[in-house]
Amino acid sequence: MRVITGIARGRKLQTPSGNDIRPTTDIVKEAIFSIIQFGIEGRVFLDAYAGSGQMGIEALSRGAERAVFLDNSRQSCETVRKNLETTGLSEKAVVRNTDTLSYISGVTEKFDIVFIDPPYRTGLLQKTLEKVPRIMNTGGLIICEHPADEEVPQDTGDFVLKKNYKYGKIIITVYSHKEVSGV
């Protein structure tokens, strides 16, 4: 697994060991960043359920101003920190060893892009989607990675489903604010 492009292009990233980790494939990662390519520069990115941190690191490499990484696994958080050091992006990042739902419920910071990729079929995706809109900037995007057979709502707070993108058994769902979407 490597950083695809930007200032950390080509840097190899570590992945935490264990069966609970399911890194986003390079094809899906490239697709996500193609979708948001012109909306990354200067933005604040939240990598919920970070795992290795590859999505937030890719965003930083492509010009995001700052990234926050959340994971309830100490091992995952240590891996994210090592990957940030390897890429030279530590100064633009905050890594929190915490429960994502608790963090979102208590944080006052606003985000421009939130990437949600929790363990599949646990209900965490839907619970996270319920809470995320309150921490979003109006012009922001909520991006979810989930299996094709997992249902997601058509809207969440003031955010509406903009588009689904299918990659084999994986779906990428993008939500944008209803004022920006024109809905």
In a domain, 39, yes or no: yes
In a domain, 2, yes or no: no
Residues 43, 66: Cα–Cα separation, whole Å = 7
| Between 154 and 15, the higher pLDDT residue | 154
Please, which pLDDT band fits residue 19 given cuts at 50, 70 and 90?
A: low
CATH code, 117 = 3.40.50.150
Burial class (CB in 10 A: 0-12, 13-18, 19+), 85: exposed
In a domain, 7, yes or no: no
Count of structural domains within the chain:
1
Q: Is the predicted pLDDT of residue 183 greater than 50, yes or no?
A: no
pLDDT value at residue 44: 97
Query: Mean pLDDT: which of 3-7, 140-144, 167-171 is highest?
Result: 140-144
Per-residue model confidence as pLDDT tens digits over 91-136: 999 999 999 999 999 999 999 999 999 998 999 999 999 999 999 9
Which segment of 35-44, 54-63, 94-103, 140-149 scores lowest on mean pLDDT?
35-44
Q: Which residue has the tokens 């809905």?
A: 183
**Amino acid in the structure at residue 3:** V
In a domain, 17, yes or no: no
In a domain, 13, yes or no: no
**Amino acid in the structure at residue 107:** V
In a domain, 18, yes or no: no
> Is 71 within 8 Å of 51 (Cβ atoms)?
yes
**Domain boundaries, position 139:** 26-181
